[in-house]
Amino acid sequence: MMDGHEVTVVDNFFTGRKRNVEHWIGHENFELINHDVVEPLYIEVDQIYHLASPASPPNYMYNPIKTLKTNTIGTLNMLGLAKRVGARLLLASTSEVYGDPEVHPQSEEYWGHVNPIGPRACYDEGKRVAETMCYAYMKQEGVEVRVARIFNTFGPRMHMNDGRVVSNFILQALQGEPLTVYGSGSQTRAFQYVSDLVNGLVVLMNSNVSSPVNLGNPEEHTILEFAQLIKDLVGSGSEIQFLSEAQDDPQKRKPDIKKAKLMLGWEPVVPLEEGLNKAIHYFRKELEYQANNQYIPKPKPARIKKGRTRHN
Ligand SMILES: O=c1ccn([C@@H]2O[C@H](COP(=O)(O)OP(=O)(O)O[C@H]3OC[C@@H](O)[C@H](O)[C@H]3O)[C@@H](O)[C@H]2O)c(=O)[nH]1
């Protein structure tokens, strides 16, 4: 919008919130439509960032059929829109297409190791078929597509109930609650800050790279190291609590970003601790906001009956 583009945001608000974009409402280049991509959409656009789908495991597992519909029917609708208006479509795919990987780090050539009937399948397989649909539309109909395989990402404006590890650990640390580690905590992840991802998406959209590209920060940590790091940054005395392991939880994950560096000139620039400090600041404010907005009925002081109070 600051570059002069007109932006239409389409959201069904299943995991999104109006509050995340309310500062743009009223801007002449901004429009917000309450719509679900599972239904067809008829608008005129040049570029489509197809970001729809819950991304947090508890959210996408909450209603697996809806997650599948969003990633299949929703993707078909967006590709149909792209075809009709001659727009370019960028699909937000995921590192989860690599499943519980047997190759480390994961490069775009790896085909993945996904359980097609496990609890994560609605998302993993949904995104895999969404990629397949993009390339079918490209080959058969000449639609221009871009596919970003997004690795773990965090930052301000995540929902407090998101359920992914970064928001969980920060909120637990801030409130002195135990940090809940699923399994032994020896599984690894690599976390990128949201502004790096957004830059990567825009660069990819405007590039000539139509094959999938990993976007992520390759700095890898175990989940236990990560819990300790967040505790230290918050200055929290919370304990670490070990809970049972999540089914089919990928044991290792780290992006190989050679392709993004070479073909897009992109790499993450926000160091992990700097990004985490920004997220901690945001969640601290969210907790204050929530505390100030709680509706706690205040009982009115009981009136003391002193006979007639009405004065004539
Ligand atoms: O409270 C928690 C939450 C999560 N975890 C663990 O932390 C790791 C990361 O879990 P998250 O839920 O944040 O995210 P995952 O890596 O499992 O999935 C993510 O992958 C990449 C994206 O496509 C998606 O955002 C999401 O599906 C997992 O090993 C998980 O078991 C905890 O130990 N405690």
105: preceding bond cis by omega (within 30 degrees)? yes
123 noted as active-site residue: yes
Say which of 49, 98, 123, 137 is annotated catalytic: 123
Half-sphere exposure of 43 (CA within 13 A, CB side): 18
Query: By the 8 A CB rule, do 113 and 100 touch?
Result: yes
Q: Find the residues whose C-beta lies inside 6 A of ligand 1.
A: 55-57, 94-96, 150, 152, 164-165, 168, 180-182, 187, 189, 223, 246, 249
Residue 182 CA: nearest ligand 1 atom is: 33
Per-residue pLDDT tens over the stretch 123-176: 999 999 999 999 999 999 999 999 999 999 999 999 999 999 999 999 999 999
The structure's pTM equals 0.93
Residue 123 CA: nearest ligand 1 atom is: 27
Q: Tell me the pLDDT of the chain (312 aa) as tens digits.
A: 989 999 999 999 999 999 999 999 999 999 999 999 999 999 999 999 999 999 999 999 999 999 999 999 999 999 999 999 999 999 999 999 999 999 999 999 999 999 999 999 999 999 999 999 999 999 999 999 999 999 999 999 999 999 999 999 999 999 999 999 999 999 999 999 999 999 999 999 999 999 999 999 999 999 999 999 999 999 999 999 999 999 999 999 999 999 999 999 999 999 999 999 999 999 999 999 888 876 656 555 554 444 444 444
Where residue 113 falls (left for φ over 0; alpha for ψ -120 to 50; beta otherwise) is beta
Name the packing angle between helices 165-174 and 272-293 (round to 10°). Answer: 60
Separation of CA 166 and ligand 1 centre (Å): 8
Q: 146: how many CB neighbours lie within 10 A of its CB? A: 25
| Phi/psi at 48 (5° precision) | -125, 120
**Closest residue (by CA) to atom 23 of ligand 1?**
94
Separation of CA 165 and ligand 1 centre (Å): 5
Name the packing angle between helices 165-174 and 223-234 (round to 10°). Answer: 40
Which of helix, strand or coil describes residue 148?
strand
Question: For the residues of 28-48, what is the DSSP string, one character each?
Answer: TTEEEEE--TTS------SEE
